[in-house]
Amino acid sequence: MLAFALVLKAKGLPVPEIAGKLVIKDGRNAGENPSVASVYRALAEAEEAARTAGSDRGALRAHEQLVVAHRTGWSAGVPA
């Protein structure tokens, strides 16, 4: 979902429209759109990760995994 949001942001789409195009796949909010604030936060975190690690795609994948782990309550494979 983050990769799609980054592509839409790169195309110049406003963040509120990006949030409307995204759909949460798992969890209690499955099937709903993320909030605009959540999308802003995820994009900012991804940009920060890209800045600190260069433009390495692996860093963005690792960031996505961290976001999923944070939101699902899992840390390093162990429930929080």
In this prediction, residue 48 carries a pLDDT of 87
In this prediction, residue 76 carries a pLDDT of 46
Rg, Å, the chain Cα set: 13
User: 79 pLDDT exceeds 80?
Assistant: no
Confirm whether pTM is higher than 0.75.
no
In this prediction, residue 59 carries a pLDDT of 61
